[in-house]
Structure 1
Amino acid sequence: MPQVSIITPCYNSARFLEETIQSVMNQTFTDWEWLITDDKSTDDSVEIIQKINDPRIKLSVAEKNGGAGHARNLSLEKATGRYITFLDADDFWEPDFLEEMVSFMKQENAEIAYSNYARCDEQLVPQIEDFKADKEVTFDNLLKTCRLSLLSSMYDSQRVGKEYFPEGSKREDHVMWLNLLKKIPIGKPLPKTMAKYRMHSTSVSRKKQHIVKDQYLVYKDFMKFSTLKSLYYTANWALNGFMKYSKIFN
C-alpha cells in the first residue's frame, strides 16, 4: 500500500500532459500511486498516458463525460494511500513536492497542509507573485476565500477519511475543502513554493463574474446558509478573488 495517492482528472490535456507526467516521475519521494481518470478525451491524452511503463500509474477511462469532480471521485474510490493529493493534468510539481509535504505532515501532525505555488502562464513563466501559504486554514476563514489549491495541498485520509467532490457544481473543490474542515480545527501552511499553476486565459475559475452564482450556491445549497449570510460570503469571496489575481496587489 503506497503512502501517497495522487488524484488526476484528465480531459483533452495532451498539450501539457507530458510536462505534468514528467513532474511526477521526477519526484524524489517514490512511494506513490497515481490514479488518473480520463473524462472521455477526444485528443491523444489516453495514448500519451498509456505509453508510460510504470505500475504505479493507474489509468481509468470514465464511461461518460461527467466533469472534473466526477473524474476525481472515480479515482478517489480506488485510492489506497494514506495521504491524498491532487494534480490536474496541466499543472506541475517541483521534484521535492511530495517529499516535503509528507515530511511536513508527519512533523506537524497535520491533517491538512498546503504550500506556496507559482502562478504562471501556459509556458510556466511566473506572471504575478507566488500564492503564499501564510495562514492556518479554518472552516471560518475558508468561507471568505479558498486558500487551499488542489495542486499544492494534501490531507491525511487515515485520520479524516476520504472526502468526495459534489458533482454538478463548478465550485466543487471549495465545497470539498469546507466539508473536510468541518471535521478538523486547522490546516497548516508550508511556506515553500513547490508547484506551478497554469493560469489559462479561458479558465472558468478565473472568470469571477461568470461563477458568482455558483459560488453563492456553495453557501446557500451546500453549507445551508441563509440568503443574507450566503450573499455576505459571496461578496467577500469576490473581493478576495479580485485581490488574489490582480497585479495591483501582487
Structure 2
Amino acid sequence: MTRDLVSIVTPAYKAAAYVAETIRSVQAQTYGAWEMLIVEDGSPDDTWKIVAEYAAADSRVKLIRQANAGPAMARQKALEHAAGRYVAFLDSDDLWLPEKLERQLAFMGEHSSALSFTAFRRITADGSTTGRLIEVPAEMTYRSLLGNTAIATSTVLIDREKTGPFQMTKTYYDDFVLWLGILKRGHVAHGFNEDLMRYRVLDQSVSRNKWRSMRMVWKTYREIEGLGFIPACSAFAGYAWNAWWKYKKF
C-alpha cells in the first residue's frame, strides 16, 4: 500500500449522464494524492467512453471494464486494484465537495479512526435543488449500526492499515454488510458532522424500491449477520425509524 494514497472505489453502470461531473468533483479535491478506480460494469451506454477520455487526460483516473456483475462485484474489482492505504467510496452519480478528502483525513488522524463517514445533502437528478443537511452521530458501533442508516456510502473513508484486508460480499446491501463486518472486528466508526458530499436522488436507483429494500435489510440481518428473530425485529424497527426520519423531508 502507498501510505498517503486514497484509492477511490466507483462502480459505474448506465452512468453516462453523471459520471463526468462525479470525476470532476474528485479532480477538484484540495488533497491530490488519490487514484480513482472506476469499474464500468457492462453498461449499454457510453459510460466507458466518457471515463476513458478522463483517464487518458489524467493518470489518476483509471478505467476498469468488466461484464455486468452488479455494484458489489464492481466494488470488489476496484479493491483488487487499489494501491492506497485509504479506501474511499464514491458512487458514479454522487459528488464530493472540494475539501472532502483533506478535511476527512485530518479528522481521522485526530480520532485515530479505522472508518469514518460524514454529513451530506441530497440533490435532485438535475442538480437544481439541494436538500437539508443530513447530520451524523459522533460514533457508531456494530450494534448501533444494525438499527441505523447513518453511514452513506459516498461519504465513507477507511484506513486499511487499521482494519486489515476486507472484501465485498455479493449481496443487495454490500456496503452496509462491509461496514458491519469492519465494526464487528471491534472498530468504531467515527462520524464527521460536516457537509462534504452530495447524494443524487434518482428514481431508477436501487435504493428507491422501498419494499425490496426492506426485504433485503431483513435478509441481511437473518442470513448474513445471523441474528435471531427477536434481535432482527429490534434492529429492523430501529432501521425503519431512522430511515423514515432521515428521508421524511428533502
CA pair 142-46 structure 1, distance change in 2 beyond 3 A: same
CA pair 212-38 structure 1, distance change in 2 beyond 3 A: same
State the Cα RMSD in Å: 1.5
Q: Give the TM-score normalised by structure 2.
A: 0.93
Secondary structure of 2:59 counterpart: coil
Once residues 179 and 166 of structure 1 are traced to their aligned partners in structure 2, the CA distance between those partners, rounded to angstroms, is 10
Contact 2:138 2:192 in 1 (8 A): no
Select between 7-16 and 111-120 the one with higher mean Cα deviation: 111-120
Select between 40-49 and 201-210 the one with higher mean Cα deviation: 201-210
Matched residue, 1:227? 229
Amino acid aligned to 1:115: T
Matched residue, 1:137? 140
Matched residue, 1:59? 63
Matched residue, 2:121? 118
Matched residue, 1:182? 184
Gaps of 5+ in 1: none
Equivalences, count: 246
Contact 1:208 1:238 in 2 (8 A): no
How far off its partner does 1:162 sit?
3.2
Matched residue, 1:44? 46
Once residues 212 and 184 of structure 1 are traced to their aligned partners in structure 2, the CA distance between those partners, rounded to angstroms, is 27
Matched residue, 2:14? 12
Contact 2:114 2:187 in 1 (8 A): no
Which of 85, 90, 100 matches 2:103?
Answer: 100
Identity %: 30
Gaps of 5+ in 2: none
Secondary structure of 1:123 counterpart: coil
1:237 equivalent to 2:221? Answer no
How far off its partner does 1:163 sit?
2.3
Once residues 156 and 56 of structure 1 are traced to their aligned partners in structure 2, the CA distance between those partners, rounded to angstroms, is 20
Once residues 133 and 86 of structure 2 are traced to their aligned partners in structure 1, the CA distance between those partners, rounded to angstroms, is 25
Amino acid aligned to 2:131: I
Moved over 6 A (4+): none
Contact 1:20 1:89 in 2 (8 A): yes
How far off its partner does 1:32 sit?
0.8
Q: For residues 128-170 of structure 1, what are the alpha-carbon distances to aligned partners after superposition, in whole Å with 9 as ceiling and x for unaligned? A: 3211123311111100013111111111011102322210x21
Amino acid aligned to 2:140: V
Contact 2:97 2:197 in 1 (8 A): yes
